[in-house]
Structure 1
Amino acid sequence: MLMPSIFGENLFDDFFDDFARPMNVIHYANPTPSAMKTDVKETDAGYELDIDLPGYKKEDVKAELKDGYMTISAEKKSEDGEKDEKSGKYLRRERYYGSCSRSFYVGEDVTEEDIKAKFEDGILKISVPKKDPQPAVEQTKTIAIEG
């Protein structure tokens, strides 16, 4: 029997998936849209960023500073599967790979030693100090004239 296309390929796939999944496990169909939501707060000393990274561990998160831009990236790999112990055939196997990143301009004068970061409870807390840009020192360079 053909089903209308609004139900997808099989009407009962999602229905039975809910019963196969343990009740205490939160399942996100697409976890990346909710990732990297960021609160930025300005203080007298600098800026405080709280970046939501639900489901990520500290090892999954990387912070880099290059050319005045601080880039936060997170990468997650996951494999779930159920294996029949008798025959060794997979009954169900799912893989997930996802990554996300955001960049923030913090200024050319901020160094990696100035930035403090802490990851706890799925939130990356970053403190970036305010630094006044240093004026470029003009150097007079003379050109030797022959003659």
Structure 2
Amino acid sequence: MADLTETDDAFVADIDLPGVKKDDIDVEMSDRELVVTAEIKEKETAGRSHRHMRSTGRFEQRVLLPGEVNPEQVSATLSDGVLTVTVPKAEKARPHHVEVRTA
């Protein structure tokens, strides 16, 4: 699962990666495309397993961002199984306030 939101200053992607360690996650930015890959490893169990319902293997999430971005300032944090990637907008893509004066 992934959500993409937009603020005045950045695009923010929240990607669910339950049980994945930060060392198994790779985040790349190319132009306006955010690519997140992860390795979801099979959990070792003691005893006989009766059912495997968890996804394992390589995970990839690609997100094309809807505006110009500043790829050098991208940040990523992992908390409680959710990876949050913040991609700042390029200066020219940010909204600018125009003051209205009286004549």
TM-score category by the smaller chain? 0.5 to 0.7
- Name the structure 1 match of 2:99: none
2:35 maps to 1:71? yes
Pick the structure with greater CA Rg.
Answer: 1
For the pair 1:45 / 2:9, whether they are aligned, the reply is: yes
1:79–1:71 Cα change, 3 Å = same
Q: Which moved more, 1:100-109 or 1:118-127?
A: 100-109
Which TM-score applies when normalising by structure 1? 0.49
Provide the rounded CA distance (Å) in 1 between the counterparts of 2:73 and 2:38.
22
TM-score, normalisation: structure 2: 0.67
Number of equivalent positions: 88
Deviation at 1:128, TM superposition (A): 1.0
CA distance in 1, matches of 2:56, 2:32: 29
- What CA distance in whole angstroms lies between the structure 2 residues aligned with 1:68 and 1:102? 14
Provide the identity percentage: 34
Cα RMSD (Å):
2.7
Q: How does 1:115-130 map to 2 (within 5 A)?
A: 115-130=74-89
- Point out where structure 2 has 5 or more consecutive residues left out of the alignment: 94-103
1:57-115: CA deviation from partner (whole Å, max 9, x where unpaired): 11121101234321001112225354xxxxxxxx647998422111122467532x211
Tell me the CA shift for residue 119 of structure 1.
Answer: 0.8
Contact kept, 8 Å, 1:41 with 1:47, in 2: the verdict is yes
* Structure 1 residues 109 and 46, CA gap change in structure 2 (3 angstroms): closer
Q: Which of 70, 73, 91 is equivalent to 1:110?
A: 70
Give unmatched runs, 5+ long, in structure 1. Answer: 1-36, 83-90, 134-147
Q: How far apart, CA to CA, are the structure 1 residues paired with 2:80 and 2:42?
A: 19
Q: Is the 8 A contact 1:68 1:110 kept in 2?
A: no
Equivalent positions of 1:136-147 (< 5 A) are none
SS in 1 for 2:87: strand
